[in-house]
Amino acid sequence: MKCSPSKEDESLASDSDILYKTIMETSSAEKSMEKALDQAGIKLTTELVDKVLRRLHFEEKIALRFFMWAGHQEGYSHQPQAYNDMIDILSSTKYKVKQFRIVCDMLDYMKRKDRNSVPVEVLLTILRNYTEKHLTHLQKFTKKKKIRVKTQPEINAFNLLLDALCKCSLVEEAEAMFMKIKNKVSPDANTYNILFFGWCRVRNPTRGMRVLEEMIHMGHTPDNFTYTTAIDTFCKAGMVSEAGALFDFMRTKGSTMSSPTAKTYTILIVALAQCDRMEECFKLLADMRDSGCLPDVSTYKELIEGMCSVGKIEETYKVLEEMGKKGYPPDIVTYNCFVKVLCDLRKADEALRLYGRMIEVGCVASVQTFNMLITLFFEISDTDGAFETWHEMDKRGCSRNTDTYCVMIEGLFGCDKREDACFLLEEVVNKGMKLPYQKFDVFLKQLSVIGDLRAIHALSEHMRRFYNTPMARRFALSQKRKSMALRRK
């Protein structure tokens, strides 16, 4: 006879489900998992914590955050089993084993001594032991090359520890540990960078700026990447004015290493555009241009995408005009970035307007331009527009590639223009074009649905020229059987 679960078991399972769901829904760096767990209002027990940790066995970062949160809850303290579970999770992970090894040693000490925190002296001992055990190769190398290491060996291990905590979004714990040990071990630039990026990870730029200020005060110079990350964090937090102030500091008082790059400018320009501060946006664009810091393909795409996403399409045209006036006319790569953004937003009229502008200024459209436009027209169910673009390629002398045929054939099958699709598919076979195997699969399925055995045979024979013959034959026979089965129905 099967025993029914007791009320205690049901309650435990229910609480475990609630905690697990809360953790998984709020575990990203942007969300406060700890705050959500507080609001859940569930009383912790050793059995409940063990159950949740077991469910988080393959989520080491999240498990550590939950473990640290649980350890600070009133009326609950970790028992040896919880420590064992946590150490097992961290020591078995393949993610940053060296980082988590230090955390495991700390947890092991806390478990054995029944403590909620590790004293500074013990922490230093753990770091020294770790340094001797895992960083001896570095010491041997420096001794062999007669390099004088100015930093204490423990700082390398300490940085690994801080990095592990910050990557688990346990930045407050990392900073508390930093404050405890900073008078015993001299932090280096990497220490400050780790803490700074940790605060950026949890979207708290104000705390991050305090770390940056202390870093500068201690004589360490932030590099360009550090400043750019700070500006990006400010912008994402809606603190655009603060980002602008930091940018001015970076440009006027920073070192050569911290000079703004195209990426830095792009982040701030897009943020200003999103806040409808277009005058400042274009002023910054002019500064960018005058300094000779021109955007590359990726930054152009970010700039165009960011402005278009908030409806600043006319302003984006103005950006291209301004760049052209100063002797930096946009090329086909830049225009294709713009076309892609408009196609992704399904703005067909704007995409065609941009295409017309390209022709006016003498920029020759590439096959990628036409492929994007054809794809867009099929997505908005405008078959005529797709055909017009197809014929436009002939007018402009642009040769079609394999992707063009694939996009067109798949689009025609999708809108039930089967005759046209089969005609183009026959053209592909006659021209001896190699289609991707996935497209063979898609097209053969479409031909099976309409029962066109001749086309199936022709396409299968064509497949043999490029792919494994026995596999192609089996695939063709399989499709033929499916087609015959459909015809019998």
Q: To the nearest whole percent, how much of the chain has pLDDT over 70?
A: 84
Q: Rounded to whole angstroms, how far apart are CA atoms 267 and 262? A: 9
Cβ-defined contacts of 173-180 (< 8 Å, 24+): 173/68, 174/198, 175/207, 177/123, 180/120, 180/123
Q: Which residues contact 156 (CB under 8 A, 6 or more apart)?
A: 131, 135, 138
**Least confident range of 36-50, 71-85, 86-100:** 86-100
Distances (CA, A) of 301 to 143, 150, 229, 359, 367: 48, 43, 19, 21, 19
- In the numeric block, the tokens 């809360």 are attached to 22
- pLDDT tens for each residue of 302-323: 777 777 777 788 888 887 777 6
Give the pLDDT mean for 48-75.
87
Q: Quick one: pLDDT at residue 376?
A: 93
Per DSSP, 44 falls in state P
* Residue 419 in tokens: 């005759």
- Burial-class residue 439 by CB neighbours within 10 Å (0-12, 13-18, 19+): middle
Q: Quick one: pLDDT at residue 149?
A: 46
Q: Quick one: pLDDT at residue 446?
A: 85
3-class state of residue 480 by DSSP = helix
What mean pLDDT value characterizes the chain?
80
- pLDDT tens for each residue of 160-181: 888 888 888 888 888 988 998 8
Distances (CA, A) of 385 to 241, 248, 332, 408, 418: 44, 48, 22, 12, 17
- In the numeric block, the tokens 């912008």 are attached to 235
* Residue 86 in tokens: 């946590």
Q: Rounded to whole angstroms, how far apart are CA atoms 269 and 265? A: 6
Whether the Cβ atoms of residue 50 and residue 82 lie closer than 8 Å to each other: yes
Distances (CA, A) of 182 to 15, 177, 431: 40, 8, 71
Higher-confidence position of 340 and 116: 340
* Residue 1 in tokens: 């006879």
- pLDDT tens for each residue of 84-137: 888 888 776 655 566 677 787 888 888 787 777 788 878 877 777 777 666 555
For residue 50, pLDDT beyond 50: yes
- pLDDT tens for each residue of 220-242: 888 788 888 888 888 888 888 88
Q: Quick one: pLDDT at residue 147?
A: 44
Whether the Cβ atoms of residue 366 and residue 334 lie closer than 8 Å to each other: no
For residue 374, pLDDT beyond 90: yes
Per DSSP, 185 falls in state S
Whether the Cβ atoms of residue 29 and residue 203 lie closer than 8 Å to each other: yes
Q: Quick one: pLDDT at residue 384?
A: 92
For residue 217, pLDDT beyond 60: yes
For residue 209, pLDDT beyond 50: yes
Helix axes 367-379, 402-414, angle to 10 degrees: 10
For residue 6, pLDDT beyond 90: no
Instruction: State how far Cα 147 lies from the chain centre.
Output: 39
Distances (CA, A) of 482 to 358, 473, 485: 48, 14, 5
CA angle, residues 281, 283, 285, in degrees to nearest 5: 70
Helices (H), strands (E): how many in the chain?
A: 27, 0
Q: Which residues contact 115 (CB under 8 A, 6 or more apart)?
A: 109
Whether the Cβ atoms of residue 89 and residue 104 lie closer than 8 Å to each other: no
Q: Which residues contact 312 (CB under 8 A, 6 or more apart)?
A: 273, 278
Q: Rounded to whole angstroms, how far apart are CA atoms 435 and 86? A: 51
Whether the Cβ atoms of residue 480 and residue 486 lie closer than 8 Å to each other: no
Q: Quick one: pLDDT at residue 393?
A: 93
